[in-house]
Amino acid sequence: MLTLLRRTRDDDGMTLAELLVSCTVAMIVLTFGSLFFVTTSRSSDHTAQVDQALGSARTVLARWTSFVRVAGWLDPAGVTDRFEEITPTKVVFYAGIGNRNDSTLQLTAVTKIALMLDRAPGGATGRLVEVVFAPDNTTPKSIRQLAFRAGPTAGSPMFQPYNAIGGDVGVDSTTGCVADGAPAVGLCLQSPPTGAGLLDPQVTTASGALSITTGSLRGNPKLGVDQILNGIAGIRIAFTVYSGAGTGVALSSGASVPAEVS
């Protein structure tokens, strides 16, 4: 009888060792479950950020190449002023955004456009900015920040011009500009046409609002830059946009420009 009672009393509860083992197993299961949840959540967030960066990059690339494809001349008779400035991170040109006819490539007056990477001095990335000017070519009609955390791809120029036979013009190795009298890399029109308006557009931020001012780049009088710019037949646009998680999305596209009309 005493043996039976002792056995019944032993079966009624858990020993301290059994309780500790159960708690340990439960904690292990809970820890692995939490890690799985956190990892899955981070992976989903990373994928969403990459998708957002990719969508942003594609939108910018499609828009900018469409502008280059309708590049025109401020003076259709002279056909020498289509591109005003091209550097590894900026291009300033005129485009027939309106409908075009067969004689002048634009039905209405061309629009001055500046596409650029705006970043802090020495910074690896910055924002992609698009400026569309009013008919006076001086007053910005719109200033748009199209992407953030963007930069050149593998150190290559964001804007790479090519001549009629597909040759690299060498925008990152030609000192076709001067800045305060000193040679600077890029291609700058030496003789801006009448009505060119604001030269070398630069982005500034005042009181939280974007504004555009003129920069110091001008054409290098020691080089025949005007002829080089007049011979550009296409531009490759390439850049990398980084997601918040640090993943880079690199895209590139080439755009040919209309041939001269005689």
Burial classification of residue 253, based on how many CB atoms lie within 10 Å of its CB (0-12 exposed, 13-18 middle, 19 or more buried): middle
Is pLDDT of 7 > 90? no
Answer whether residue 116 is part of any domain: yes
Query: pTM for the complete prediction?
Result: 0.78
CA distances from 149 to 80, 118, 227, 245 (A): 35, 10, 35, 11
Is pLDDT of 99 > 60? no
Answer whether residue 173 is part of any domain: yes
Answer whether residue 35 is part of any domain: no
Answer whether residue 27 is part of any domain: no
Q: How many structural domains compose the chain?
A: 1
Answer whether residue 58 is part of any domain: yes
Portion of the chain with pLDDT greater than 70, in percent: 79
Is pLDDT of 76 > 90? no
Per the model's pLDDT, the better-predicted residue between 2 and 251 turns out to be 251
Q: CA 240 to CA 220: how far, in whole Å?
A: 30
Answer whether residue 9 is part of any domain: no
User: What average pLDDT is seen over the chain?
Assistant: 82
Least confident of 38-47, 60-69, 166-175: 38-47
Q: CA 176 to CA 225: how far, in whole Å?
A: 6
- Looking at residue 237, its pLDDT comes to 96
- The angle formed by the CA atoms of residues 141, 144 and 145, to the nearest 5 degrees, is 160
Answer whether residue 29 is part of any domain: no
Is pLDDT of 33 > 70? no
CA distances from 146 to 58, 143, 155 (A): 11, 9, 21
Is pLDDT of 46 > 60? no
Answer whether residue 80 is part of any domain: yes
Q: Which residue range forms the structural domain that includes residue 59?
A: 50-254
